[in-house]
């Protein structure tokens, strides 16, 4: 790290973490004075005016805020484009790594530590300041011309069809965290960003626990109602988390629940009472909607496993793992096939924990699915879920749709009915109806596809290529998943002995690491949730039962 | 699954965790959870856990009562007979607590189910009634909230008879709903015996619709009930033809092309959660034919026959989950007439369906065009919706 980095970084970290013990006292202090004044004042004004607001008005207000935020983003984007046009005219030093790196560092940290908190705070606390922010926008930009060259390049390498999924702003960083971001949230944000905490349930629980910490250390500023101010305070945290990684459906649902709960806190209750009840409610929510729900689902799903079954699963799902281990503990004799794929290889973990539990596991890559389904008489397919959509479709790790389809289609030809069973807590049910995998998705880091261990396969050195391809049988197969991209790279990289490493500098080469896909309802037989077994078409009914219909918004 | 404890535990935990979500949990899962998570779901210290052993003793013989009911009244369906038996069980046993009542009901339900070779239709009734009881405990009128149990019990008993009465009104309603489906001069093909279909056709005939009925006969031939039904139709001057299963496709092709399109209207012993129906053997085949010649298949069924059970297919494992065991395949090398007596004729002979006449079959939902119930016409997918509404 360059020394110029040191100041903002320590600034960013020590300040929030330093006041962990004395959070309550400190938290309330910096708010009223200093730069945060406008925000707080506005909060107060807002809260004061809003005490008598009805739920509908509140909703309207929220919607307005959201619209304003969106408008702001658009404006930002516009400024960005302008910026690019500028930089394009400026002749820029070539992409010599170090030279580019050093000027970039300070400018980014500057942007993030100085301007971002400033921005961050304003958008969520007061959306009405939009014009001011628009004016303030260009100020830091001229200095940041160097990174934009790189960014522009990067943008060129974006897959146009998925352009709406690329992060609009910089991913959350440690230094970029505003002063109001709770250390627990910062830690969680980084963990989410780096996929340390991964999986719908884990993310949901971690988020709720982090918010519990936030609530515990929160003190309401004088003359504001907790139900009003805590919400705005929480919005900052949510924005940070969303910046780290787009929120999953489970996170979204539970955050919506929490916000609703906060806004309905009685105004007359004291801070400590309200905080206590909120924390208890969060604990209860985690227990009921996730811990107990998992328990219930695992039991129900275990009953579906019979002796002699060959169970196919894809990637990793905590609840599928629990079910399989549960069934094994009950003495059922069955075999498991774990299908896995690049680039996350979550199935390895899954297979490992199943083996540790004493199960018989076969591990194969997604590319081998046709053979597996054909040769091994698979009798059941269990899938985890990221979300069950309102039209009965399943949103899950990219590749699930392929697995479900292969299982259904292959079994159709063989007079064998292989049911595809989805295990999903109702907290992951969404009222959104999605038709394809394009609209509602998430992009992973495209660099994850550039596996350094794989580079030999693409190299011109035949002996090296053979050497790497032979032992890791998956090597060539894995690359097959991304035919187009790698063909490109083969053609272009052949002469210069380049793999995909410098794909960003290769014009016309796109790398796409998509995280989820949507499985149509006709490939699913059964959804097991804590309410019992349902056909996928019944998902909207359950939404109705749970009053999660707000998810439509 | 431990059938006894979960139902009785249910109310207790429901009171404990008043959150709506928890109430929505499938009951059967509760007993174990509460045992496994003593810390998270603390049981109230005062109430002891009810077990099947604590079920109060009674000299009421529910099986005999049920059998008597079935034999006395030919129009009564198994679920209703089961509900009536449970109601009279409640009436004849003086009980003082809710948990006693529930324990009594669950033990006797399982006793009743165990006595039947095909418990699927029955289970719809017993489960529905127990669910109904629990919800009437929970949603009892505020006037009874603080009163003693006898008042509550009286309320429940009067409600129960109302429940049976309403269930009995289902068939006329089905007949009304189905009337627009029956066009003049159309042909209706039916199979098996169903009270709902009989009521439906009778109602249509009484409403001066003129239509033909083709009765597809199973391999076992004309049963007494079916011949009575056909005679009743003939009395209403409805032309009927009986054909065997083999003749079905040719019969369909022989219908006048100018006539309104034919349709299948059949009954069902039970409807499962994904919309599959349980019927006598042969229906699946019939449904496949109907599908392949694009003749709609309508199922006339009362909504109390909906069972909360989700089959994954239509094979013996799915039937076994429902408590029915039957063996169609009996390989042998002797002459076809040698009647191979399988080894099943031993210990639990009573539980295995042996004759083809009483064997049942699951027909998957994709072959069913619509269900005609007293709550309206619904697609097979809507069954789970109805069940969720009913149970949560």
What is this model's ipTM? Answer: 0.74
Stretch (H or E) spanning B234? helix B224-235
Q: Can you tell me the mean pLDDT for A383-388?
A: 94
Domains by residue range for chain A, with CATH: 1-44+108-125+171-304 (no CATH), 305-439+516-552 (3.40.50.10470), 446-505 (no CATH)
Give residue A507's pLDDT: 79
CB-CB under 8 Å, B22 with A533:
no
B36: left (phi over 0), alpha (psi -120 to 50) or beta: alpha
What token pair was written down for A450? 């550039």
A13-62 pLDDT, tens per residue?
Answer: 334 433 434 444 444 444 444 444 444 444 444 444 444 455 666 676 77
CB-CB under 8 Å, B388 with A531:
yes
Distance between CA atoms of A230 and A512, rounded to whole angstroms? 39
A332-351 pLDDT, tens per residue?
Answer: 999 999 999 988 889 999 99
**Running DSSP on this structure, what letter comes out for residue B49?**
P
Contact indicator for A479, A459 with CB cutoff of 8 Å: no
Domains by residue range for chain B, with CATH: 5-169 (no CATH), 171-391 (3.40.50.10470)
Distance between CA atoms of A258 and A242, rounded to whole angstroms? 16
| Residues of chain B positioned with their CB less than 8 A from the CB of A300 | 26, 29
Q: Does A532 touch chain B (CB under 8 A)?
A: yes
B316-349 pLDDT, tens per residue?
Answer: 888 888 888 888 888 888 765 545 444 444 444 4
CB-CB under 8 Å, A287 with B40:
yes
B113: pLDDT strictly greater than 60:
yes
| Residues of chain B positioned with their CB less than 8 A from the CB of A541 | 384-385, 388-389
Q: How confident is the model at residue A120 (pLDDT cuts 50, 70, 90)?
A: very low
A3: pLDDT strictly greater than 60:
no
Q: How confident is the model at residue A258 (pLDDT cuts 50, 70, 90)?
A: very high
CB-CB under 8 Å, A538 with B381:
yes
Give residue A552's pLDDT: 38
Name the minimum distance, in Å, from the CA of B294 to any CA of chain A: 21
**Between these two residues, A55 and A64, which has the higher pLDDT value?**
A64
**Between these two residues, A405 and B151, which has the higher pLDDT value?**
A405
- Give A360-398 as a DSSP string: EEEEEEGGGHHHHHHHS---EEEE--SEE-TTS-EEEET
Write down the H helix ranges in A217-285.
Answer: 226-244, 249-263, 271-285
A156-198 pLDDT, tens per residue?
Answer: 678 888 888 887 777 777 777 888 899 999 999 999 998 899 8
Binding-face residues of B in 237-296 toward A, CB within 8 A: 273-275
CB-CB under 8 Å, A545 with B275:
no
Give residue A544's pLDDT: 67
Name the minimum distance, in Å, from the CA of B308 to any CA of chain A: 9
Percent of chain A with pLDDT over 70: 62
Give residue A451's pLDDT: 67
CB-CB under 8 Å, B19 with A532:
no
Cis omega before residue A193 (within 30°)? no
Burial letters A247-276, b for 16+ CB under 10 A, else e: bbbbbbbbbebbbeebbebeeeeeeeebbe
Q: Does A541 touch chain B (CB under 8 A)?
A: yes
Give residue A170's pLDDT: 72
Binding-face residues of B in 194-233 toward A, CB within 8 A: none
- Of B18-32, B68-82, B135-149, B237-251, the poorest mean pLDDT is in B18-32
* β-sheet with B360-363: strand ranges across: B270-271, B277-280, B360-363
What token pair was written down for B306? 């909906």
Question: Quick one: which of B268, B338, B333, B341 has its CA closest to B306?
Answer: B268
Give residue B296's pLDDT: 95
| Residues of chain B positioned with their CB less than 8 A from the CB of A407 | none
Which phi and psi (to 5°) does residue B315 adopt?
A: -95, -175
A273: pLDDT strictly greater than 80:
yes
Q: Does B36 touch chain A (CB under 8 A)?
A: yes
Give residue B80's pLDDT: 85
Contact indicator for A514, A443 with CB cutoff of 8 Å: yes
- Give B266-305 as a DSSP string: EE-SEE-TTS-EEEETTHHHHHHHHHHTT--EEEE--GGG
**Running DSSP on this structure, what letter comes out for residue A198?**
-
A106: pLDDT strictly greater than 60:
no
A105: pLDDT strictly greater than 50:
no
């Amino acid at each position: 790290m360059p020394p110029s980095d040191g100041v903002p970084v320590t600034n960013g970290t020590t300040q929030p973490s330093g006041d962990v013990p004395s959070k309550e006292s400190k938290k309330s202090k910096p708010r009223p004075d200093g730069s945060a004044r406008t925000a707080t004042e506005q909060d107060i004004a807002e809260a004061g005016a809003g005490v008598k607001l009805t739920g509908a008005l509140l909703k309207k207000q929220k919607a307005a805020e959201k619209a304003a935020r969106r408008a702001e983003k658009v404006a930002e984007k516009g400024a960005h484009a302008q910026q690019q046009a500028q930089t394009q005219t400026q002749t820029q030093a070539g992409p010599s790594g170090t030279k580019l790196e050093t000027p970039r560092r300070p400018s980014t940290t500057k942007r993030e530590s100085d301007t971002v908190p400033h921005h961050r705070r304003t958008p969520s606390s007061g959306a009405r300041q939009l014009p001011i922010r628009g004016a303030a926008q260009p100020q830091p930009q001229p200095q940041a011309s160097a990174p934009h060259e790189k960014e522009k390049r990067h943008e060129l390498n974006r897959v146009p069809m998925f352009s709406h999924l690329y992060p609009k702003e910089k991913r959350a960083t440690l230094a970029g965290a505003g002063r109001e971001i709770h250390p627990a949230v910062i830690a969680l944000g980084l963990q989410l960003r780096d996929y340390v905490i991964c999986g719908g349930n884990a993310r949901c629980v971690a988020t709720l626990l982090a918010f519990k910490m936030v609530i515990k250390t929160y003190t309401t500023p004088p003359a504001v109602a907790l139900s009003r101010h805590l919400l705005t305070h929480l919005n900052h945290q949510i924005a940070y988390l969303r910046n780290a990684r787009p929120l999953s459906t489970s996170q979204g649902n539970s955050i919506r629940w929490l916000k609703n709960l906060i806004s309905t806190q009685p105004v007359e209750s004291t801070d400590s009472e309200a905080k206590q009840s909120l924390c208890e409610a969060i604990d209860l929510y985690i227990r009921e909607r996730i811990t107990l729900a998992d328990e219930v689902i695992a039991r129900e799903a275990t009953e579906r496993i019979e002796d002699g079954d060959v169970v196919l699963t894809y990637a990793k799902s905590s609840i599928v793992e629990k079910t399989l281990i549960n069934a094994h503990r009950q003495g059922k004799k069955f075999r498991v096939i774990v299908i896995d794929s690049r680039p996350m290889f979550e199935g390895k973990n899954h297979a490992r924990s199943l083996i540790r539990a004493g199960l018989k596991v076969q591990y194969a890559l997604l590319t081998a699915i046709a053979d597996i389904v054909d040769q091994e008489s698979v009798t059941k397919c269990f899938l985890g879920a990221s979300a069950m959509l309102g039209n009965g479709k399943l949103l899950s790790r990219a590749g699930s749709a392929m697995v479900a389809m292969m299982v259904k289609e292959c079994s159709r030809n063989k007079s064998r009915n292989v049911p595809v069973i989805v295990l999903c807590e109702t907290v992951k049910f969404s009222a959104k109806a999605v038709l394809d995998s394009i609209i509602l998705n998430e992009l992973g880091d495209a660099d994850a596809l550039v596996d350094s261990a794989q580079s030999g396969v693409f190299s011109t050195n035949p002996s090296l290529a053979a050497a790497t391809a032979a032992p890791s049988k998956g090597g060539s197969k894995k690359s097959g998943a991304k035919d187009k991209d790698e063909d490109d790279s083969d053609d272009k990289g052949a002469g210069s002995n380049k793999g995909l490493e410098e794909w960003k500098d290769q014009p016309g080469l796109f790398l796409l690491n998509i995280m989820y896909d949507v499985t149509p309802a006709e490939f699913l037989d059964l959804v097991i949730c804590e309410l019992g077994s349902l056909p996928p078409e019944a998902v909207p009914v359950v939404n109705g039962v749970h009053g999660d219909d707000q998810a439509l918004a | 699954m431990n059938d006894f404890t979960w139902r009785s535990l249910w109310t207790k935990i429901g009171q404990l965790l008043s959150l709506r979500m928890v109430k929505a949990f499938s009951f059967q899962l509760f007993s174990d959870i509460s045992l496994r998570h003593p810390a998270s779901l603390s049981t109230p210290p005062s109430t002891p856990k009810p077990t099947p052993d604590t079920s109060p003793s009674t000299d009421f013989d529910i099986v005999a009562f049920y059998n008597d009911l079935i034999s006395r009244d030919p129009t009564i369906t198994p679920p209703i007979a089961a509900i009536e038996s449970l109601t009279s069980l409640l009436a004849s046993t003086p009980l003082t607590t809710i948990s006693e009542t529930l324990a009594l009901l669950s033990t006797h339900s399982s006793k009743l189910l165990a006595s039947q070779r095909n418990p699927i239709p029955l289970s719809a009734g017993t489960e529905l009634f127990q669910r109904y009881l629990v919800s009437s405990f929970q949603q009892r009128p505020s006037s009874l909230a603080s009163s003693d149990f006898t008042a509550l019990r009286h309320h429940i008993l009067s409600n129960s008879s109302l429940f049976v009465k309403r269930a009995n009104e289902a068939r006329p309603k089905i007949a009304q709903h189905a009337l627009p489906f029956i066009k003049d001069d159309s042909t209706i093909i039916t199979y098996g015996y169903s009270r709902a279909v009989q009521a439906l056709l009778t109602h249509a005939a009484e409403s001066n619709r003129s239509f033909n009925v083709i009765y597809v006969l199973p391999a076992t031939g004309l049963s007494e009930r079916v011949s009575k039904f056909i005679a009743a139709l003939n009395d209403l001057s409805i032309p009927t033809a009986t054909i065997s299963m083999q003749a079905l496709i040719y019969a369909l092709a022989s219908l006048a092309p100018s006539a309104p399109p034919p349709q299948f209207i059949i009954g069902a012993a039970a409807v499962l959660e994904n919309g599959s129906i349980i019927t006598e053997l042969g229906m699946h085949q019939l449904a496949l034919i109907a599908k392949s010649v694009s003749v709609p298949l309508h199922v006339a069924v009362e909504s109390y026959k909906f069972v909360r059970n989700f089959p994954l297919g239509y094979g013996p494992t799915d039937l076994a989950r429902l408590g029915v065991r039957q063996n169609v395949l009996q390989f042998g090398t002797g002459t076809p007439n040698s009647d191979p007596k399988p080894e099943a004729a031993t210990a639990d002979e009573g539980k295995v369906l042996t004759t083809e006449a009483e064997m049942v079959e699951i027909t998957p939902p994709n072959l069913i065009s619509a269900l005609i119930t007293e709550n309206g016409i619904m697609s097979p997918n809507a069954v789970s919706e109805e069940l969720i509404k009913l149970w949560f």
